[in-house]
């Protein structure tokens, strides 16, 4: 994993982000080769393509799991799941990083490549029970975590969002607005995996 300077954290939270948290709780979206662990994640751009429909609703009152077929990642890598005895791996596709108002939305498409299970694989399991993505603005010496309000994190329900082996599921996480509006940042999906470097940020306002 690429060693980078550790920026300071930013935990700014606006009123619109709190409102978004309530909305996510009501309806939460969800659902190669192993790279050298010492290198950064594959940053080759992928061409656009058609995707199929995916996802389905959970039980009564449960979260909505959004499939990932319709999302085309701009960056992608396949990484071994830490702490597993077998050869389980997760393909991580970084779809977008979009700033709007008080928040910055990260979209990932996660696909399990598991030998230990065929179905009912959650995002939580794909990330080895450690779902804590970060955004690093190395130039600005800042880092950002998923926004939380009263203990509720603004992200997909990582336990309820499940998929079958080889089938993608969407993860969405909301971070504070990026100070200084950097054009590109680094994204850490898991501390044991390479960093996605120079991820472009799109601003909608």
Backbone angles phi, psi at 79, to 5 degrees: -130, 145
Q: What is the pLDDT of residue 65?
A: 55
Tokens at 33, concatenated: 């080769």
Query: Per mean pLDDT, which of 45-54, 145-154, 188-197 is the most reliable?
Result: 188-197
Please choose, from the candidates 2, 25, 14, the residue with its C-alpha nearest in 3D space to the C-alpha of residue 175: 14
Using pLDDT thresholds of 50, 70 and 90, give the confidence band for residue 66: low
Q: What is the pLDDT of residue 57?
A: 35
More confident residue, 160 or 24: 160
């Amino acid at each position: 994993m690429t060693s980078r300077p550790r920026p300071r954290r930013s935990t700014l939270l606006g009123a619109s982000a709190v409102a978004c948290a309530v909305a996510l709780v009501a309806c939460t979206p969800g659902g190669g080769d192993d790279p050298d662990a010492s290198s950064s994640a594959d940053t080759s751009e992928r061409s656009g393509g058609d995707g199929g429909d995916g996802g389905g609703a959970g039980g009564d009152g449960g979260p909505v799991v959004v499939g990932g077929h319709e999302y085309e990642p701009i960056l992608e890598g396949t990484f071994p799941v830490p702490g597993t005895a077998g050869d389980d791996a997760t393909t991580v596709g970084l779809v977008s990083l979009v700033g709007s108002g008080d928040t910055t939305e990260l979209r990932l498409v996660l696909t399990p490549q598991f030998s230990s299970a065929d179905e009912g694989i959650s995002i939580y399991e794909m990330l080895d029970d450690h779902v804590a993505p970060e955004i690093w603005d190395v130039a600005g010496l800042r880092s950002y975590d998923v926004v939380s309000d009263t203990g509720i994190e603004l992200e997909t329900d990582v336990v309820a969002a499940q998929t079958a082996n080889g089938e993608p599921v969407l993860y969405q996480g909301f971070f504070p607005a990026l100070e200084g509006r950097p054009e590109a940042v680094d994204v850490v999906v898991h501390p044991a995996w390479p960093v996605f470097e120079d991820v472009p940020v799109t601003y909608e306002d």
